[in-house]
Amino acid sequence: MTARQEFRVTRTYSDFEVREYSPCVIAEVKVTAEYSSATSRAFSHLIRYISQGNSSQQKIAMTAPVIAAQHTDQKSSDDWYISFVMPAGSTFEQMPHPNDPEVTLRALDSQMCVAISFRGKATKEKSAQVTQQLREAAAKENIALSSETRICRFDPPFKPGFMQYNEIVIPAYL
């Protein structure tokens, strides 16, 4: 079983959860592409990094989810940040440097977010629908959200679409 990014639920609403995500390190690739192809274009860079394509030729455990993030206030709607979360407890200083210049490591502090899960293939249309639902539900609770939206996918693409588990996660100002 693949490890998951660490968080704790701080509040549960009828439509979503408020979560506090633990500090972590992500390996990230910026891609300018349609959503439908952005993850696959970045995936090979990220897989190479965790499969010994780094300065210490170290294998790094895969952690779920694979995240496709986008800011609604950015200039291009085709700019995506695809990332893998490094294993829990990793620090920026101890992670091996990527050999591929397309891969960037970033340390993220603890962060409050709202999250909602859904089943099915995380298509652009389905993800947009669930994102709108989450943003509207958070607004009803007077929770201010960032412009960033994270589409978090937990299953391999070969798993039947109707069985795939996904989440929309949005940083919140709480």
Query: Taking the model in full, what pTM does it have?
Result: 0.93
Contacts (Cβ under 8 Å, ≥6 apart) of 94: none
Which domain, by its residues, includes 59?
3-173
pLDDT number for residue 156: 85
- Tell me the per-residue pLDDT of 71-89, one tens digit each, with 9 for 90 and over: 776 666 789 999 999 999 9
- Tell me the per-residue pLDDT of 98-110, one tens digit each, with 9 for 90 and over: 999 999 999 999 9
- The 10 Å Cβ neighbour count of residue 11 is 14
Looking at per-residue pLDDT, the higher value among 146 and 77 belongs to 146
Helix, coil or strand: residue 17: strand
The enclosing domain of 53 has a CATH number of 3.20.80.10
pLDDT number for residue 17: 98
What string of DSSP letters covers 95-162? SPPBSSTT-EEEEE--EEEEEEEEES---HHHHHHHHHHHHHHHHHTT-EE-SEEEEEE-S-TTS-GG
- Tell me the per-residue pLDDT of 110-127, one tens digit each, with 9 for 90 and over: 999 999 999 999 999 999
pLDDT number for residue 63: 87
Q: Is the pLDDT of residue 134 over 60?
A: yes
Number of domains in the chain: 1
Q: How many CA atoms lie within 13 A of 132 on its CB side?
A: 6
Phi, psi of 168, rounded to the nearest 5 degrees: -105, 130
